A and B are shown apart, each in its own frame.
Chain A
Amino acid sequence: MDNPALIVAEVVSAILCFILVRFMMKPYRYMGESRYIGLPLGFAFLGVSYIFLGLAMFFESFLFVEEMKWMQLFTQAYAFAFLAVTYYFSKREFERRRLWWEITFAGLVFAAVVSYILVFEPPMFGLPSYKTVDEYFRLFNIICLAYITVHTLRSHAARPDSKTIWIPLSYLLLGFGQYSSLIWSLDSSFSAFVGAHFLRLAGLLVFLFVSYQTFYSSRETPQEEGS
């Protein structure tokens, strides 16, 4: 077993993600718009990816450890892809282009299924070295998170409000977490590895803080004017 603290960090990250799924589901449920489904899906995939990583760390000599690592890689990339696509299609000009969203969504689901099959069918399609692919996937995750950060920052800049600055910050923390993971995979620096976990947890906690504050702290019954 690897450092138990790191396994605990994976478990806590997964729990945080699954709590967040519950909040992220609300825009989809209340607005009835399929383009918002990417938000809960993204966090669900992220949670599953941390479970895969935690399992790979816990069962070091388990038969499917390599597969778990690959699954974690794909699942995490899909998580950020779903989130980035959701933000992309949330733009006003895409309101009437639902077909594009549906095609993109179907494409992502198809790619996810194919990649999971590939993981368990290595004899047919030999996979490259995990370490090399890991670095490319981290880069992809950073690009997705950079796009989302810029999108949310622009949204904040359009209508500045102290409440809307937290989400760009949390995406930025997740992005730096991925960057730290990339550094760790390049030079095996332990501080980068620990930093990646710390930044990721901080990012997820900010998400939780914002969700909790919106749905529980600032709840007020709409008052009839004049009453």
Chain B
Amino acid sequence: MKKLPRRDKLKIYGDLLSILNSEARREKIVLTRIQLRINVPFDRLKIYVAELKELGLIQDEPSLKLTEKGKQYLREYETVLDFMKRMGLTYQ
């Protein structure tokens, strides 16, 4: 079985925000569905979600979704990833 590359926390934050953004149309976001997409253990996912909430990047009222600050972070994160791709740098 091919070993998946280790992701650091910032990469996981970025991936999580990106998934939450793409799931925003759903009436209710289920964490187990997010877990399947992001591929981290459930207990750790809950910690990451709590940390993102604490940072003010997501909110859970009325449902789990990105705040304006979260959207801004995601936009900058995706721009930097695009720049790295253009520069020929690997970031998995």
Contact = CB atoms under 8 A, between A and B. Distances in A.
Interface of A: 23, 26-27, 30-33, 36, 39, 86-87, 90-92, 95-96, 148, 151-153, 155-156, 159, 161, 163-164, 166-168, 210-211, 214-215, 218-222, 224-227
Nearest to B73: A30
A92 B86 contact: no
Contacts of A86: 89
B80 A30 contact: yes
Contacts of A163: 82, 85-86
15 contacts: A26-B83, A27-B83, A31-B11, A31-B91, A32-B8, A33-B8, A39-B87, A95-B5, A155-B88, A156-B88, A163-B82, A210-B87, A215-B79, A224-B66, A227-B25
Contacts of B21: 222, 224-225
B10 A221 contact: no
A23 B21 CA distance: 26
A166 B66 CA distance: 34
Nearest to A207: B87
Contact of B77 (A23, A30, A90): A30
Interface residues of B toward A: which range?
A: 20 to 34
A222 B78 contact: yes
A221 B89 contact: no
B44 interface: no
A149 B65 CA distance: 42
B16 to A, nearest CB: 13
B86 A219 contact: no
Contacts of A153: 88
Nearest to A29: B80
A144 to B, nearest CB: 14
Chain A contact surface mostly: helix
Contact of A26 (B18, B74, B80): B80
A219 B75 contact: yes
A129 B66 CA distance: 62
B76 interface: yes
B79 A219 contact: yes
**Which of A92, A96, A148, A222: most chain B CB closer than 10 A?**
A222
A214 B90 contact: no
Contacts of A151: 88
A30 to B, nearest CB: 4
Given A224-B21, A225-B25, A226-B25, A214 B92 contact: no
Given A30-B77, A32-B8, A219-B75, A225 B83 contact: no
Interface string B6-18: 1010110000001
B53 interface: no
Contacts of B10: 30-32
* A-B CB proximity, top 3 nearest: A226-B25, A152-B88, A224-B24
A42 to B, nearest CB: 11
Given A32-B10, A225-B25, 16 more contacts: A27-B80, A30-B76, A33-B8, A86-B89, A90-B89, A90-B91, A92-B5, A95-B5, A152-B88, A167-B88, A215-B79, A218-B79, A222-B74, A224-B25, A224-B65, A226-B24
